[in-house]
């Protein structure tokens, strides 16, 4: 069994992105949404994973390396059920548990849950139109 990480680093965030997006691409509900937005091209997926890794490096490690508007990107997607956020969080949680010790995984997941909650409020409760 692989040794779990007890700290979050740039390198293991990259591993998290590989693990997580592998699961996303295979998910029957989330896969089609991501493929429609990103495509199926390996380079497009590598670029997406690198961009999201920079997002998490900024959110978790405090590095000023992300340039983007993730909420706007999600609002611009074709509508999808709110429950898909729960599936996203479930896959993220499973991916975290494969890489980090439970305390670190839970800390990371807590940040992801807060972000997902903000996105859901903006996308479903505030009725932002695109």
- The domains of the chain are located at 10-125
pLDDT of residue 126: 83
- The pTM of the whole model exceeds 0.85: yes
Helices (H) and strands (E) in the chain, counts: 6, 0
Of 83, 91, 84, 89, the C-alpha closest to 110 is 89
Please tell me the predicted confidence (pLDDT) of residue 129: 52
Question: What's residue 1's pLDDT?
Answer: 66
Q: Which residue is listed with tokens 């439970």?
A: 102
Q: What is the pLDDT of residue 127?
A: 61
Q: What is the SS3 assignment for 5? A: strand
- Quick one: pLDDT at residue 2? 78
Residue 75 to residue 53: CA distance in whole angstroms: 20
Q: What is the pLDDT of residue 122?
A: 92
What are the average pLDDT values for consecutive 10-residue runs of the chain, which has 130 residues? 92 98 97 95 97 97 95 91 96 98 98 96 76
Return the CATH superfamily for domain 10-125. Answer: Globins (1.10.490.10)
């Amino acid at each position: 069994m692989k040794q779990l990480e007890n700290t979050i680093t740039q390198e293991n965030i990259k591993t998290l992105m590989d693990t997580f997006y592998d699961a996303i691409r295979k998910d029957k509900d989330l896969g089609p949404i991501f493929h429609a937005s990103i495509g199926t091209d390996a380079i497009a997926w590598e670029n997406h994973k690198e961009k999201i890794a920079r997002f998490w490096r900024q959110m978790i490690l405090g590095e000023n390396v992300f340039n983007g508007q993730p909420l706007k990107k999600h609002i611009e997607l074709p509508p999808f059920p709110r429950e898909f956020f729960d599936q996203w969080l479930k896959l993220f949680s499973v991916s975290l548990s494969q890489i980090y010790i439970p305390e670190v995984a839970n800390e990371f997941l807590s940040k992801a849950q807060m972000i997902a909650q903000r996105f859901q409020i903006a996308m479903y409760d505030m009725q932002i139109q695109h």
